[in-house]
Amino acid sequence: MTELIKTIVTSLVDHPENVVITEKETGNAVTYQLTVHQDDLGKVIGKQGRIAKAIRTVLFAAASHDNKRVQLEILE
């Protein structure tokens, strides 16, 4: 799942070397924390959060067969 996030996000940003994804697993939930370069934050979030929502939708669809809750946090 981390590779899926990395593939999507690196194609959106200008500084792909600064993309960092950390994974926290607690029980039945997995939280992915995404950190990008400050200049790329707006590109990952998008207008009114549309890009971030689309990335989360893809993650939910990919994780649906694992029966786990997936969250994506975009950190500054």
Give pLDDT tens digits for 1-58.
Answer: 999 999 999 999 999 999 999 999 988 899 999 999 999 999 999 999 999 999 999 9
- Domain with residue 43: its CATH number is 3.30.300.20
Q: What is the total count of domains within the chain?
A: 1
Q: Which domain range does residue 6 map to? A: 2-75
Three state DSSP letters for 1-46: CHHHHHHHHHCCCCCHHHCEEEEEEECCEEEEEEECCHHHHHHHHC
This model's pTM is above 0.85: yes
Enter the tokens of residue 42.
């707006």
